[in-house]
Chain A
Amino acid sequence: MPEDIRSLSEKTSAPKRSKRALVQRVLQEAGIGVALLLLIVIFSAAAPHFTDESNITNILTQITINLIMATGMTFVILIGGIDLSVGSVMALCAMVAGLVLKSELLPVPGAIAAAVVVSVLVGMICGFVNGFVSSFWSVPSFIVTLGMLNIARGAALEVTNARTLFQFPNVFNDFGTATLLGVPAIFVVALAMVLLGWAVLTRTIFGRLIYAVGNNEEAVRLSGHDTFRVKVAAFVISGLTVGIGAIVYMARLTIASPILGTGFELNAIAAVIIGGTSLNGGRGSLIGTFLGACLIGVLADGLILIGVGDFVRQMITGGVIILAVVLDSYRAKIAERTR
């Protein structure tokens, strides 16, 4: 059947076909969206107060940090890498930014601005080291970022000798609970980052190269591109989102602790994978990641509301991750067969 279609090769049918391809792509990505909707419907019916305004605000607040981290993680996973260091680097960013916030050398607005800049800078430097080392020496990023995970955690503890920082300026702390038209301000930040990242991935040369490198790095290199720079940039972007995530998290908690962010890397990776991005790189989208992060958040919240205990909840979340990749590989197989 596909053979016949190919041999016809009529130009007139091209628009119709590309529309069908679009529908197909929407359906592919919609899988996770449907699952999310289903979950929302079920919890709306089964869980008391699930649809309350306060609960929805709660969910949005809960998923904010993960959404920010997962945005950067998507770039790294799309080039076929992984970043295990994001949780620890976030702690390091927070400690350094916390010191700046409390330094009293600058007036409050200046101190906040400096803290943001420093946090983002620290994150980007860590990301640069991850990307440079793994790309330059062709070491698996799994190992390099595992090392960075320990280095950054150690550094975070060293900065204040394991002390927790608190009593930040009120304006700063207020941001953590502020709302914008009823939506938590920090969630708006996360949403803006997702949208920005989505635009970069789908609308820019750099985004095009990210996908191409993830699919076939050698072909991209032999086409005359600097694949090294693309790969390093993906890690730097991951570091950037971590730096912003650190600020947002501090504002929400009103403290900076060197043990914060433990295990966050796994949540971020889970959101990306559930969102349908391939761990082999080259395939996936930030919309998927967004839906993946939402699904994890809704699931956790809904399960609490219907009275499922912490331990069982963790088990269910784990099961969902496995289910997501199994479904994904199943889908890939079907796609292969229908070719």
Chain B
Amino acid sequence: MESILELRRIVKRFPGVTALDGVDLSIADGEIHALVGQNGAGKSALIKVLCGVHLADEGEMRFRGAPYQPRTPFDALHAGIRVVYQEFNLLPYLSVAENLLFERLPSRFGVLLDRRALERRSAELLKKVGLDIDPGVRVERLGIAQRQLLEIAKALSSTGRLLVLDEPTATLTPREVARLFEIVRAARASGIAVIYVSHHLQEIFELCDRVTVLRNGRLIGTFPVAATAASELVKMMVGQRLEATTREIGAAADIANAGLASAREPALRIDRLRVRNSTREVSFSLDYGEIVGVAGLVGSGRTEILRAIFGADPRDGGEIYLGGRRVEFRTPIDAVRNGVCLLTENRKDEGLVLAMPVRVNVTLTDLARISRGGFLLGQRERAMTDQSIQELDIRLRSVEQTARELSGGNQQKVIIAKWLFRSASVLLLDEPTRGIDVGAKAEIYTLLRRLSAEGKALLVVSSELPELMLLCDRILILSRGRLVGEVSRHDFDEERILSLAYSEYLAGNHRQDRFFE
């Protein structure tokens, strides 16, 4: 097999993390090549390097035998690489036809839009994709699945040699998925190579020729799909547990788990919670002194549950009890007053005021503590912030530094510090170690374990299963918005948890997609 695309030793670093660490990838002419890995494994980074969104720091690429160095998405397009992203790039107020042929609108005399040619050509393209819509209708009136197929039609409309599909089935019904597979196979038959990124292992076994596994920015390997078992694939994606530095945290967790379990007081009880626009009901409880993990794929509704509890987003139903008492958190103000706090997955946009000093960020949750009669007490504020900084061992030059200047791990500690400043007793943590390096992760684990030993209740969402297994006393497993299982520490088993997390996605369960309920 001749390869159309060769990536060698690709390295991409972001501040604080290495997203891609010497990754090789070889795509053969006319194959469908799956790219798999957990969240944060480097799939997106690799695609973005490939299509010119990010510039690789090291390594070389060859496309169709020639050196290939895209500096902008336009370079990639020009070279013949077509990418369909998860988020849509359609222009909602233009017609389907205009969107399809946007890059090469047919014209008369070079200036006037040739409407008849536009209609004709776009109708042909739509027919090829099997999409039965009027080319004249505006894109804003299409459903999400139709838009997804339209994106693919658009990508196939021009003469590309490599098609990249990033989670293309996330919004499709089974019939549309079948249609998509036909289109992709037809593309392969006409000599186009396809890179296919998906969480749905089922699809990979149905559609793809070879599969490449990434983990923590490193290449694990490329294998023929036919000779690989699903369970092997899962193992490779998850990898071995975190090593020595974290082992002691696990030991501490084991001890805590054995000793205190009987003496725990109930913290949070969630009864038939329905997040916005969902029909699924979720019930669970959380005790003081306990760390409970929430496992599940991206889009399984983990973040939505945390935000609904905290009052950050309205919910459709369900009741929340705090210490046995029914509470109503209509806004985050209510939750914070009751000692419940949320560390969002989006540290920079929702957790910190980046342009303001660390001091301001730490004290923001409880300004009453550093003021008298509405007036701020500068001296007290600095002293109290210094104390917080020391307690959590946050490394900085001065509390006057802006939050932006800190590393990811220290930023995350500042966010924890700000909630401890408010004496929060129930911590909802969404991806607490996302985007921070291994050393800092271990420090965060130690810190969270300490907080739980001090009697706080922690609910931790994470895409990294080894992390949850290390840290938590119990793990709840979500799959497509449904709570499909609960495992206690002494029963932790990667494969079992993963198979539960995938359970609603496997075996043609597409009909249950929440967009179509």
A283 within 8 A of B: yes
Question: Please, which residues of chain B bring their CB within 8 A of the CB of A222?
Answer: 310, 312, 332, 342, 344, 350-351
Contact B335 A208 (CB under 8 A): no
Question: Please, which residues of chain B bring their CB within 8 A of the CB of A223?
Answer: 332, 336, 364-365, 418
Question: For the complex, what is the distance from the CA of A308 to the CA of B365, rounded to whole Å?
Answer: 54
Contact B398 A282 (CB under 8 A): no
Q: Which of B354-362, B447-455, B492-500 contacts A (4 or more CB under 8 A)?
A: B354-362
Question: Please, which residues of chain B bring their CB within 8 A of the CB of A203?
Answer: 375-376
Question: Please, which residues of chain A bring their CB within 8 A of the CB of B400?
Answer: 17-18, 21
Q: Contacts A6-B395, A223-B336, A224-B337; is A218 near B364 (CB within 8 Å)? A: no
Find A21's partner among B312, B355, B398 (CB 8 Å cutoff): B398
Question: For the complex, what is the distance from the CA of A339 to the CA of B349, rounded to whole Å?
Answer: 19
Question: Please, which residues of chain A bring their CB within 8 A of the CB of B259?
Answer: none
Question: For the complex, what is the distance from the CA of A222 to the CA of B364, rounded to whole Å?
Answer: 10
Question: For the complex, what is the distance from the CA of A85 to the CA of B332, rounded to whole Å?
Answer: 33
Contact B355 A283 (CB under 8 A): yes
B333 within 8 A of A: yes
Question: Please, which residues of chain A bring their CB within 8 A of the CB of B335?
Answer: 224
Question: Please, which residues of chain A bring their CB within 8 A of the CB of B368?
Answer: 205
B397 within 8 A of A: yes
Report the minimum CB–CB distance from A213 to chain B (whole Å): 9
Question: For the complex, what is the distance from the CA of A283 to the CA of B404, rounded to whole Å?
Answer: 15
Using a Cβ cutoff of 8 Å, how many contacts connect chains A and B?
Answer: 94
A163 within 8 A of B: no
Question: Please, which residues of chain A bring their CB within 8 A of the CB of B405?
Answer: 6, 339
Q: Contacts A222-B342, A224-B335, A224-B337; is A212 near B398 (CB within 8 Å)? A: no
Question: For the complex, what is the distance from the CA of A205 to the CA of B368, rounded to whole Å?
Answer: 8
Interface 1/0 per residue, A218-259 and B, CB below 8 Å? 111111111000000000000000000000000000000000
A residues contacting the other copy or chain, number (CB 8 A): 30
Q: Contacts A17-B397, A224-B332, A339-B404; is A219 near B352 (CB within 8 Å)? A: yes
Question: Please, which residues of chain B bring their CB within 8 A of the CB of A226?
Answer: 331, 333
Question: Please, which residues of chain B bring their CB within 8 A of the CB of A283?
Answer: 355
Q: Contacts A212-B364, A215-B355; is A13 near B397 (CB within 8 Å)? A: yes
Question: Please, which residues of chain B bring their CB within 8 A of the CB of A339?
Answer: 404-405
B396 within 8 A of A: yes
B residues contacting the other copy or chain, number (CB 8 A): 37
Main SS of the interface on chain A? helix
CB neighbors of A among B404-449 (8 A): 404-405, 418, 422
A315 within 8 A of B: no
Q: Which residue of A lies closest to B356 (CB)?
A: A215
B374 within 8 A of A: yes
Q: Which residue of A lies closest to B344 (CB)?
A: A222
Question: Please, which residues of chain B bring their CB within 8 A of the CB of A220?
Answer: 353, 364
B371 within 8 A of A: yes
Question: Please, which residues of chain B bring their CB within 8 A of the CB of A225?
Answer: 333, 364
A170 within 8 A of B: no
Report the minimum CB–CB distance from B9 to chain A (whole Å): 25
B55 within 8 A of A: no
Report the minimum CB–CB distance from B435 to chain A (whole Å): 17
Find A206's partner among B374, B398, B418, B422 (CB 8 Å cutoff): B374
24 contacts between A and B (CB under 8 A): A6-B395, A6-B397, A14-B397, A17-B397, A17-B400, A203-B376, A206-B374, A209-B367, A211-B360, A212-B353, A215-B353, A216-B350, A216-B352, A216-B353, A219-B364, A221-B331, A222-B332, A222-B342, A222-B351, A223-B332, A223-B336, A224-B422, A226-B331, A226-B333
B residues with CB within 8 A of A: 310, 312, 331-333, 335-337, 341-342, 344, 349-356, 360, 364-365, 367-368, 371, 374-376, 395-398, 400, 404-405, 418, 422
| Inter-chain pairs besides A212-B356, A226-B333, 9 sampled, C-beta below 8 Å | A9-B397, A17-B400, A216-B353, A218-B349, A224-B336, A226-B331, A282-B355, A282-B356, A283-B355
